[in-house]
Amino acid sequence: MPTTDPTPASSLGAHEDHLRDLGLPMMIVPSTRAREVLVRSAGVSAGLAVATSGLSALDRSNDFAVALLDRVGEDSPEWEEMGVSDPIILLLLLALGLFIAAPIIGWLVARVVRRVGPLPGSVIGLASAVALVVAAPLSFEPHDGPGPGTTVLLTAGVLVGTYVGAGSLVRWSARRVRRELGTMGHMVARVLPVLMLAVLFLFFSAEIWQVMVALSWSRTLAVVGVMGLLTVLLVAITTRDDLHDELEARAPGRELRMAERVNILLVPVIATLIQAALFACLVFLFFVFLGRIAIPEATETRWTLRTMEDLGGLLAGVPVSVTLVRVSLTLAAFSALNLAAAAASDSAHRARFVRPMIDEVVHGLAAREAYLRARRRG
């Protein structure tokens, strides 16, 4: 992010870049965003074109493997005799190479379009979009990998996402995550001890273990999802109320488009949700660690009336039980909801963690006004 704001004499492009850095891409006028769609989407389209071709190669390799299994059986020595020149191995290596190359090619294309002029950049962006549509379907057999319908929808999603500034919001969110990681200590020291007074009682209660041991993973994720949705709604409603007076005082409703109002609301909402998500991850890890050292297998078996079930698949070697993970996930989601409630009701929490986000929105409104003045001068 730039260390200083653009000056009044700065170029129009500098003001637009500043708005994107603030996470406010929808403040840029629609005509400019539409004109830059192909240029700004070129890198993503090129990278996805390579990645979808990798999916086609992987799918084709799977077809060869299934055909070989049907022909010779799983215990056939042909499996052991496969060399590097075998089509299955070659396709797997090709798929791996394409997956690795996809982000590199996307980054290179994005760099190129930024250095060339608008017209060559648009041509490259159009070629990348066409490649995303046709690369995967034409790479191998039509049934391998993403089909034409999928790639067309993917291309449309990339173009629409570029128009609304999804990439700018993602980059702003990534910077925000790094920033919040650096300030998590203050929040943890303030919120976690008070929260633990209530949540620790639930964690050491046999009832929650008995409930969670009987739930499937789909039901567990549904419970976590409901609490996550409540967190999002609570954050969105309270943030909208906080912003109402600022928007009315600094930018009357007739001066802000609906998209701009949504963008202004998204910035503090996303920032607050990032705080809640990071806090939930910390709480989850804390309870997994606490359960590992404080609740032995015999205690868990006595509480749940079932033998402890270990994690399977890639996590088979992790020394924690499935029920412990489910309990920790549920309590972490509850903690995130509790943090959102604190942001809505605790004046000290709001002054320390919420008010700075509102101030950022006010700064964004000032940047928008400077951008519009620059457009009028141009």
Query: How many structural domains is the chain composed of?
Result: 2
Q: Mind listing the pLDDT tens digit of every residue in the chain (378 residues)?
A: 444 676 655 677 888 888 888 888 888 888 889 998 999 999 999 999 999 999 888 888 887 777 766 665 555 555 455 544 477 788 888 889 999 999 999 999 999 998 888 899 999 999 999 999 998 888 877 666 788 888 999 999 999 999 988 888 888 888 877 777 776 666 666 667 777 777 888 888 888 888 888 888 889 899 999 999 999 998 888 888 777 766 666 555 557 788 888 888 888 888 888 888 888 898 899 899 988 888 888 888 888 887 777 776 656 567 788 888 999 999 999 988 888 887 666 666 666 666 777 777 778 888 888 888 888 876
| Residues 236, 153 within the same domain | no
199 and 319, same domain (yes or no): yes
Q: Which residues of 84-109 are buried (b: 16+ CB within 10 A; e: fewer)?
A: eeeebeebbebbeebbebbeebbeeb
Buried b (16+ CB within 10 A) or exposed e, 122-149: bbbbebbbebbbebbbebbeeebbbeee
Indicate whether 6 belongs to any domain.
no
User: pLDDT, tens digit, for every residue of 239-273?
Assistant: 887 777 666 665 555 577 888 888 888 888 888 88
CA atoms within 13 A on the CB side of 299: 13
DSSP β-bridge partners for residue 321: 310
Q: What are phi and psi of 60, to 5 degrees?
A: -65, -40
Tell me the per-residue pLDDT of 160-171, one tens digit each, with 9 for 90 and over. Answer: 999 988 888 888
Do 72 and 206 fall into the same domain?
no
Quick one: 185 and 126 in the same domain?
no
- In this structure, the answer to whether residues 50 and 154 fall within a common structural domain is yes
pLDDT for the residue numbered 69: 64
How far is 346 from 361, CA to CA, in rounded Å? 21
Assigned token pair, 284: 């989850």
Is residue 107 located within the same domain as residue 133? yes
Question: H-type helices in the chain, by residue range?
Answer: 12-21, 30-35, 37-72, 78-81, 87-115, 118-139, 148-164, 166-203, 206-213, 217-250, 258-294, 297-304, 322-345, 347-349, 355-377
Would you say residue 244 lies in a domain?
yes
The last residue of one of the domains, among 114, 139, 164, is 164
Query: 195 and 153, same structural domain?
Result: no
Confirm whether 350 is domain-assigned.
yes
pLDDT in the model for residue 249: 61
Query: Is the domain of 142 the same as that of 16?
Result: yes
| Residues of the domain holding 129 | 12-164
> What pLDDT, on a 0 to 100 scale, did the predictor assign at position 311?
72
Check: CB of residue 364 under 8 Å from CB of residue 22: yes
Same domain, 47 and 73: yes
Are 194 and 250 found together in one domain?
A: yes
Domain termination residue (choose one: 120, 138, 164): 164
Residues 258, 124: one domain? Answer: no
Asked which of 130, 164, 198 is the last residue of a domain, the reply is: 164
4 within a domain of the structure (yes/no): no
Residues 224 and 346 in one domain: yes
